[in-house]
Structure 1
Amino acid sequence: MTLGGDVPLADALKQSLRALEAFSGPTVLLDAQTRVLALGAQATSLLKGRLKPGQRLLEAFEADPAETLRTALKSHEELCLTFREHAGPGAPRALRLRATDLMEGPRGVGWAVHLSLPPAEPEAAEELFHGLWTQDPHMRRLFRTIERAARTEASVLVRGESGTGKELTAHALHALSSRAKGPFRAINCAALSPSLLESELFGHVRGAFTGAVRDSPGHFRLAGGGTLFLDEVAELPLELQAKLLRALETHSVIPVGGREPISVDVRIVAATHRALRREVEQGRFRADLMYRLRVVPLFLPSLRERPGDILPLARRFLKDLNARGGRQVLRFSAQAQRQLQEYPWPGNVRELRNVMEYAHVMGEGPVLSEAELPPEFNEQAHPAPRASESAQRSTAPVGVEDIHRALSQTQGNRARAAALLGISRITLWRRLRQASEGAER
């Protein structure tokens, strides 16, 4: 049997489960009778053989009314179940279950059940929540606030620095809401000119401006029945703020070039890295619009405010990179760990992911050293020398013998040898190549 005529069904299920587990952690697919259709690799490892395809979900757990399970699945409420028997050292005794619907057109055909460990010790627990991972207790409390906010129709304002997960939070609010089956639309308010942004938000009619050769519905109408995410909402020009406020108050939009309002049914989630109250004080943002958007404010902490998450997150990113093949990084050097923990992380979790990818590509061997981190880390650890020191270095250039000596000291690791000599890896490679070409001539 194949899916779409090309991909075998088993392969398609594996691909889907890999994607689901990357986003939501260990996942089991159930049919409408709560029988197991398939288990992801993470779920298989976590369950340790206690649940297999064809079994009903409750067969692995202590007696619990089937109706309670079905109600929890349908309402997407979290449920904690205890296993019938312990599977030995290291195996969990209980799991938390959270479900999302599997749809075939308008019809529900089962559930994707996401598994996680219940926190035995609050300070040690970890959680993967709709793509956001943490073991920080404040962050986990934020997850519970997101769950409560998702059950309402209230507008939510997400505040956080770049890279803290504002769009993931918006996706979580949508996925956990009664609008989950509707569309999720996102628009960056800082990325477009005011005239184009108005058209993108509210739509336009044919002939409204040069190039408007047909009607366009706009994001408000395209998100009908679902959620509209307004990223960087503080960047909206004042004129558009007035039109956005009107749309929120009247639940309708007037397309550019149109005359009649069109009803819309959409929930708004907005995000910004700025303090809207300060923007109001400076006259750059309307107070009435702020109150409309900020019914439920959510504040995402920066990575430097959750220092206990830095190294665990870095290891998780490296595990994903190792899975792609090639270099297999098993641990950090002590100095690399220190630099990662002391770095201010202006780009937060997104920057940490990029730094791990850079180091994974640039280095060699199973140990990720401080020399493999991007230049700004080594600049932080070794401040730029004074002018007199630079002049002394410039009069004594690094020679090939120096490079060979450094390579010997670092067991052939070029990144570490370059750091030891105070030159870049590219410079080290170039001088070795020049010496080799000279020897050939």
Structure 2
Amino acid sequence: MPLTTPPQRLFDQWLLQHRDNRFILSLLKAFETSHFLLLDQQQIILYSNATTAHLLRPINKHLIGTICPTELFNPSVTDTEPKTILLNNTPFILETHALLTATQQKIGHLLVLSEHPSTPDNTFPPTDIATAEMNFHGILSQSSKMKPVFQIIENAARTDSTVLVRGDSGSGKELVAKAIHALSSRNKQPFLAINCATLSANLLESELFGHVKGAFTGAVNNHIGLFQRAHKGTLFLDEIAELPLELQAKLLRVIQERTLTPVGGTQSVTIDVRLVAATHHSLRERVTHGLFRADLMYRLRVVPIFIPSLKERREDIQLLLWHFTKQNNLKKFRIISKISPKAMQALLNHSWPGNIRELQNVLEYAFVVGQGSTLHYSELPPEFKTTQENLPPTPNIHFSGALTVEQERTAIQNALTQYRGKINPAAESLGMSRATFWRKRKQHEL
């Protein structure tokens, strides 16, 4: 019998049928092996489990009934992006999820802690950190956000369709072009690349299409352009949005006709080239402002591929850190086998506006200015110090402030309810020894 009620409506009805606290507790207990804290509107910890309490040791103080420390949750910070914190010198990813009612009223928060995909003690991995599963034809990633990108690359490589790669500067657009070439039937032929923003219009025209002897002053010989030199292969046009308007019509004709005429020449030449273009601009916006031809945009944008920025795939940061560390170690100038906890935290929390290229340059800077086998925080570029000074401190977490008698009684009572009277997990969730828990329970007549 087919469903007539929308899935969300079914879920809402199911929730309404089971609105008692035992139902909520059973849901929370399904995640007893996870690290999380449940907060109310006043940032008071309502629920914690033994696993989380053990992680937050050697705090050895109450969790339930206390105000969550600002290192874990700061109500004045509206940014909900995952961040990295240090717990017992181990980096953890902290995610904050707002809990909303049907009317979008915020009634609390769920804080989820997951161990960062790192190596013990921030030391260099004993084996190659980039396994086969993490290396997609030269693109290193373990992020789920890159899997759709890899799939499109594989699909596009089976055809000769023109591809437009869109991504921020330093995100690896040329690596995507090389991966398409490597996976295609043209992989035995040349892969050539040019940055359209680096040359004047005249030089770029000559470099792309070639010129004949005497075509202009200084043209003392015939010059074969990139389109001809990449015959049967792949040509990568980086920063295509910067292509001068006067050359856009010529490029459009070459794509449509598959022929070109060198500068100053009279005979057309047939070409067979797979074209991959890239930009960090929106070509649609460039068309709107009269800086790019709409017909050329549609010719280039047959298969668009969007690359997530590094800050959108933070699980790749440490993978890339060790990859570039290994590359720099091969130069024998300095061998780094460990990154200090403070330096690692700064690197993991950095916003990386320059993406992978910036990360590569930061590590090279640290290699040059420092000494020894450990990369220290002091060896990072100046912008890291400025950024850290403007952020709230994130040291190892410590709870502060003594509980009132009533708060302590409530905390113990809640813990006993959560764990159905079981002393060991209840005591551990509050950061107490079994003996202390018994004594305080008796004191409060619970």
Question: Normalization by structure 2: what TM-score?
Answer: 0.56
Distance (Å, rounded) in 2 between the aligned partners of 1:272 and 1:136: 22
Number of residues of Structure 1 aligned to a counterpart in Structure 2: 262
Partner residue, 2:194: 187
Partner residue, 2:156: 149
1:203-252, Cα deviation, whole Å (9 max, x unpaired): 11111100111221211111111111111100011110011001111101
Find the structure with the greater CA-based Rg: 2
User: Offset at 1:327?
Assistant: 3.5
1:103-130, Cα deviation, whole Å (9 max, x unpaired): xxxxxxxxxxxxx968xxxxxxx41122
Q: Does 1:177 align with 2:184?
A: yes
Distance (Å, rounded) in 1 between the aligned partners of 2:241 and 2:336: 41
Partner residue, 1:255: 262
Partner residue, 2:444: none
Distance (Å, rounded) in 2 between the aligned partners of 1:316 and 1:184: 25
User: Offset at 1:354?
Assistant: 1.4
Question: Per residue, is there more helix in 1 or in 2?
Answer: 1
Distance (Å, rounded) in 2 between the aligned partners of 1:376 and 1:366: 23
Distance (Å, rounded) in 2 between the aligned partners of 1:303 and 1:174: 23
Partner letter of residue 214 of structure 1?
N
Matches within 5 A, 1:28-427: 126-383=133-390
Any conservation in 2 of the 1:135–1:308 contact (CA below 8 Å)?
Answer: yes
Q: What SS does the aligned partner of 2:277 have? A: strand
Distance (Å, rounded) in 2 between the aligned partners of 1:304 and 1:117: 22
Partner residue, 2:72: none
Distance (Å, rounded) in 2 between the aligned partners of 1:325 and 1:194: 42
User: Offset at 1:289?
Assistant: 0.3
Partner letter of residue 180 of structure 2?
L
Q: Summarize the Cα distance change of 1:320–1:183 in structure 2 as closer, same or farther, 3 Å threshold.
A: closer
User: Offset at 1:371?
Assistant: 0.9
1:161-215, Cα deviation, whole Å (9 max, x unpaired): 1111111111111111111111111111111100111111111111110011122
User: Offset at 1:326?
Assistant: 5.0
- Percent identity of the aligned residues? 57
Distance (Å, rounded) in 1 between the aligned partners of 2:179 and 2:333: 33
Distance (Å, rounded) in 1 between the aligned partners of 2:200 and 2:330: 41
Any conservation in 2 of the 1:327–1:364 contact (CA below 8 Å)?
Answer: yes
Any conservation in 2 of the 1:127–1:140 contact (CA below 8 Å)?
Answer: no
Distance (Å, rounded) in 2 between the aligned partners of 1:331 and 1:203: 50
Q: Summarize the Cα distance change of 1:199–1:320 in structure 2 as closer, same or farther, 3 Å threshold.
A: closer
User: Offset at 1:365?
Assistant: 2.9
Structure 2 gap ranges (5+): 1-129, 392-446
1:307-339, Cα deviation, whole Å (9 max, x unpaired): 111122112221332343354323222221221
User: Offset at 1:369?
Assistant: 1.8
Q: What SS does the aligned partner of 1:141 have? A: helix
Distance (Å, rounded) in 2 between the aligned partners of 1:209 and 1:258: 11
Partner letter of residue 372 of structure 1?
E
User: Offset at 1:282?
Assistant: 1.1
Partner letter of residue 199 of structure 2?
L
Distance (Å, rounded) in 1 between the aligned partners of 2:211 and 2:351: 44
Any conservation in 2 of the 1:164–1:300 contact (CA below 8 Å)?
Answer: yes
1:59-92, Cα deviation, whole Å (9 max, x unpaired): xxxxxxxxxxxxxxxxxxxxxxxxxxxxxxxxxx
Partner letter of residue 194 of structure 1?
A
User: Offset at 1:372?
Assistant: 0.8
Q: After TM superposition, where is structure 1 displaced by more than 6 Å over at least 4 residues in a row? A: none
Distance (Å, rounded) in 2 between the aligned partners of 1:324 and 1:263: 45
Q: What SS does the aligned partner of 2:343 have? A: helix
Q: What SS does the aligned partner of 1:217 have? A: coil
Partner residue, 2:19: none
User: Offset at 1:145?
Assistant: 1.5
Distance (Å, rounded) in 1 between the aligned partners of 2:372 and 2:192: 43
Which structure has more RCO (C-alpha within 8 Å, separation ≥ 6)?
A: 2
Q: CA RMSD in A?
A: 1.8
Any conservation in 2 of the 1:234–1:285 contact (CA below 8 Å)?
Answer: yes
